[in-house]
Each structure stands twice: as C-alpha cells, then as structure tokens.
Amino acid sequence: MKPIALLDASVVMQRALRMSFSKETERVITHFSPRVLDFTFIECANALRNNVSYAGLPKSEAVALSAIIQSNFKSFVANNYLIKALELAVQFNHPVYDALYIACAGEENIPFVTADKKLVKAFSQLEGFSCLTLQDLPERFV
C-alpha cells in the first residue's frame, strides 16, 4: 500500500491543466496515495472558472475537469483542523485556508505537497514543518 500525502490545489491544478509541473505531479501521484482537503475542490473550481474567464478554457472542459478532480481524490474534512489552522494562521500571519493544509498534514503525520512557494516560505519557521515542493522533488521521485 502506498503512503498517503496531502496535495493542495496548486498541485491538483498542475495535473488537471497539464501545467509546467504536471510531470512532477504525476510522479508524486505514482509514489503516494493522494488526498486533498474537502475545500480543495472549491479552490480548483474557482481556478477553472478563472481559466474559462481569462485563459480561454472552454466552459464544458472546465465542468468536465471539475468532475474528474472530484472523482479522483479522497478528501479530509477541513473543519477537523480548523482550530489548529487558526492558531497557525495567527502565529504566521497567513491565510487560514493555507494553514489548514499545514494543520492537516501535521495532525495526520503525512507529507504535504505543494507548488506554492509563498506558502512554503510562510510556514518555513514552524517547528517540524516538512513539505515537498514540485520544484524541488527528491531524487527518489525522478
């Protein structure tokens, strides 16, 4: 059985839209059993809407991609990590929705994977913080 890893919306969208780190995303998904937070589906739907509005993605493709995303990922309930996330968000002066990923990964003791360098930088001083970024995947994923 593959180990579980928590992916954020930046990673899921890399795969869905075949963006610059889509190959790295596939390697992560091959190595891990990927999970997301339940609100990641909402973040992805909003990113898809932006791609329809500003990048010319056909509406029908955005709807189809949203359905595929929802069917391909199991999720954690974000509310279960809300108190810890709020504490982290206040401590690091960073949005709660990003802190939810950090809180979930920490409480579940699973790797967190992101393409969001600002998120990584914001929480880099957190004791025990560990994160895999698509930009800096370890050699074992190559």
Q: What is the CATH number of the domain that holds 16?
A: 3.40.50.1010
Mean pLDDT in residue range 29-35 = 92
Give the pLDDT of residue 22: 79
DSSP state of 17: T
β 132-133/74-76 pair status: unpaired
Phi-psi region of 93 (alpha: psi -120 to 50; beta: other; left: phi over 0): left
pLDDT at 142 over 60: no
pLDDT tens string 52-102:
999 999 999 999 999 999 999 999 999 999 999 999 999 999 999 999 999
For residue 120, the enclosing domain spans 4-141
Percent of the chain with pLDDT over 70: 96
Question: How many domains, the chain?
Answer: 1
Please check whether residue 81 is in contact with residue 107, taking contact to mean a CB–CB distance below 8 angstroms. yes
